[in-house]
Amino acid sequence: MLNFLDSHLRYKSGAPHSLRHMIRYIARATKFIHHAIKTSDLGLAGTSNLFGEEQLSLDVLADRIIMDNLKVSGLVANAISEESEEETVFEHELKDETYSVAYDPLDGSSLVDTNLAIGSIFSIYKSGPFIGKTGREQVAALYAVYGPRTTLVYTTGKGVHEFTLNDVYEYSLTREDIKISDTSKYFAPGNLRAAQDNPKYKKLVDDWMLKGYTLRYSGGMVPDLNHILLKGQGIFTYPPFPPKYPNGKLRLLFECNPFAFLMEMAGGASMIPAVSSP
Ligand code: AHG
Ligand code: MN
Ligand code: MN
């Protein structure tokens, strides 16, 4: 019975009941997004997000599905999404311990129309203002991959575990205690254009190629990092690219912090680009 998400959370996650219960609502939201990707409109919503990026109807729909599930859980004090301008503070009566959730409802939007794998990313903290929170304060991180199979990978600080959505919409355990080795033969060099005027990055990528490493890069952060976790090896980069992305494009709160937590819990390492560059 340990091989379903609910029982795994109960007996292996070490998480308190409130956190386990809230993660179940996140898992529930990913099932609706899994369905929406197959059935809804893939076009533009006609709106843009805080970062000035055009939103797909699917970005907006995924955002609403997640926000609705966080609200109905009754365990989220406040939530912030890559796709919405403001933080949402829930006014409902809060029972039990509550959480703050930062999420990227649909990562890889530019890949949706080409049928490449995309994902959702979630970063969970004990409740409180997001300003000033650091990645080290996360109590859980998880992501879903919507590809040939829909999978959910979570950590609550006790290992990294993968579940696969089955035909009756249950998440069953497919990998437990995922580990990343110290050596690698794969590289995922994001933002390669930055190598033109970043000699250190150019030298790094040249070295990887001279060593005969295998390139594995789709342009979707979720499948690209999922590849590293499931192969147990690899390096992913996305360096700054002035003037468009002086601190790098990937968002600390919605993308880098949760993946840094997951990678470190699997024995990997992370260098947040806003703090250090290659
Ligand atoms: P999002 O779709 O949530 O905006 O994120 C896309 C990100 C990430 O998935 C990927 O690593 C990166 O954008 C790719 O950026 P470029 O298209 O600039 O290479
Ligand atoms: Mn993203
Ligand atoms: Mn996104």
pLDDT tens, residue by residue, 18-42: 999 999 999 999 999 999 999 987 7
**pLDDT attached to residue 269:** 95
Closest ligand to the CA of 110 = 1
Does ligand 1 come within 6 angstroms of the Cβ of 43?
no
Q: Which CATH number fits domain 186-265: 3.30.460.20, 3.40.605.10, 3.60.20.40, 3.40.190.80?
A: 3.40.190.80
Cα–Cα distance measured from residue 135 to residue 104, given in angstroms and rounded to the nearest whole number: 15
Does ligand 1 come within 6 angstroms of the Cβ of 129?
no
User: What are the sequence ranges of the domains in the chain?
Assistant: 5-175, 186-265
pLDDT in tens, 120-150: 999 999 999 999 999 999 999 999 999 999 9
Domains 5-175 and 186-265 share a fold: no
112 C-alpha to ligand 1 centroid (Å):
12
**pLDDT attached to residue 277:** 37
Q: Which CATH number fits domain 5-175: 3.40.30.10, 3.40.50.1370, 3.30.540.10, 3.60.15.10?
A: 3.30.540.10
Does ligand 1 come within 6 angstroms of the Cβ of 104?
yes
110 C-alpha to ligand 2 centroid (Å):
10
107 C-alpha to ligand 3 centroid (Å):
4
**pLDDT attached to residue 52:** 78
- Scanning the structure block, which residue is given the tokens 């806003």? 274
Sites in the chain below the pLDDT cut of 50: 273-278
**pLDDT attached to residue 95:** 63
248 C-alpha to ligand 1 centroid (Å):
11
**pLDDT attached to residue 221:** 98
